[in-house]
Copies of this chain bind each other. A is one copy, B any other.
């Protein structure tokens, strides 16, 4: 039996600041009061305790308060990625059977037509209905659902429970430490586990979140120089932009700044060295939606000694390498209380784990000192600006075009985004590449669009006729 994080935090440290955005600050008491009000307004709109609802909006306080309101109501929140197309959103809404979408006014156009929705402004103007807020939560209760694709290309809705989030946050604090004045800069999306886990940690730790609704390299670098924030979550691309800004200004991180948590794929060694020169501590992490954020993190004290490593597991977690080759490389498997119990919708019957172990599909090894090295994210995964892109998802779209017979997608290096997808197609009838690109634009989020579509005679396949994506570029 565990406690409603929002209520408990407001009870324990009501006057501490819990959120800052654009110069305005809210205490935990204020966040609690506002989210309780919002919960009563949602109740008027017939959203009930335990309902599964979807949420979409930019990373602004209104979204944070809406999420906390849903948490008060113990709703299962389907976190919609704002960058998806209407088709992609429609899939998630249909698969999750979310009863409605709570949507920021500015995002209403992103929703498929005929979607049951409540605008934030409508909710905020609604009358309030008195309700009993449950003070106790169960560990198995689903807090959030995030969609992540797999090798099939069909996104799977991953359940993240109270117990998952809590285990993740408490294991993390045993690794990185905690001080009451810590402030976490959040410029990663709240609909991703990277962003949402910052909110969870804020509630459990009593720390302030310094929120951005977009990545503002200048302002963020200034925060880091001034020591207004102590922690930040980055991906390689955003880390580089901060490094660049600091270098341009001939500036350094404030001694008050404690640590960058770098996730979403490997960080180039060169970036780590540049960060070191700027007195900017960077901890590389390895995590995913199915593990409610970090599974392993490299301590700063080891950053230069074990360069390129994702560190050791957090205290409650285990990592092992399955089916090792002669070099000890194999599939990374994860076990611990932070691992999802499973999926919803069409994948509800799929087991997330085998004997308690999550088989990630990622390839790595553990060195003689016990440090994890991730060699390759799960087969064929493309990481572009920190977003995961699954080739199969793009291939599936291309294959629905009447002129396309076969399709294969892989990632290529890109200066700005580290990687971008590129597509190869075998045609059954003539079509202009521009037509295929326009077709994809309707079906795929912008960041997933193939940078190039190349027409070819034949795709590389193995004996079993399985597409060999790694050979597409040969």
Contacts and interface: CB of A to CB of B under 8 A. Distances in A.
Interface of A: 1-3, 8-9, 11-12, 135-136, 170, 173-174, 177-180, 204-206, 312-313, 315-316, 318, 335-337, 356, 370
A3 B316 contact: yes
B370 A312 contact: no
B12 A315 contact: yes
Interface centre among A3, A11, A170, A336 (most CB of B within 10 A): A170
A205 B314 CA distance: 11
Given A1-B335, A335-B1, A174 B173 contact: yes
Contact of A170 (B11, B170, B318): B170
Contacts of A2: 316, 337
A166 to B, nearest CB: 9
Nearest to A369: B14
Nearest to A203: B315
10 contacts: A3-B315, A3-B318, A9-B315, A11-B312, A12-B312, A170-B173, A170-B174, A173-B173, A177-B179, A177-B180
Contacts of A170: 170, 173-174
Given A170-B170, A179-B179, A370-B11, A1 B135 contact: no
Copies of this polypeptide in the complex? 2
Most B CB contacts (10 A, CB to CB) among A1, A205, A336 go to A1
Contacts of A370: 11
Nearest to A135: B318
A116 B11 CA distance: 51
Contacts of A174: 170, 173, 178, 204-206
Nearest to A11: B370
Given A174-B204, A174-B205, 6 more contacts: A1-B336, A1-B337, A11-B370, A12-B313, A170-B173, A177-B177
A170 B313 CA distance: 17
A2 to B, nearest CB: 6
A294 to B, nearest CB: 14
A167 to B, nearest CB: 9
Nearest to A339: B1
A150 to B, nearest CB: 25
Contacts of A315: 3, 8-9, 12, 204
A234 B316 CA distance: 30
A315 to B, nearest CB: 6
A179 B313 CA distance: 18
A315 B315 CA distance: 19
A67 to B, nearest CB: 19
Nearest to A170: B170
A135 B315 CA distance: 12
A126 to B, nearest CB: 30
A315 B173 CA distance: 14
A22 to B, nearest CB: 28
A336 B402 CA distance: 60
A336 to B, nearest CB: 8
A433 to B, nearest CB: 52
Nearest to A9: B315
A339 B189 CA distance: 38
A29 to B, nearest CB: 11
A305 to B, nearest CB: 11
A135 B320 CA distance: 13
Q: Which of A178, A313, A315 has the most CB of B within 10 A?
A: A315
Contacts of A313: 12
A5 B11 CA distance: 31
Nearest to A356: B1
Nearest to A314: B12
Nearest to A206: B174
A292 B178 CA distance: 22
Nearest to A311: B12
A456 to B, nearest CB: 49
Contacts of A177: 177-180
Nearest to A182: B177
* A-B CB proximity, top 6 nearest: A170-B170, A177-B178, A178-B178, A177-B179, A12-B312, A11-B370
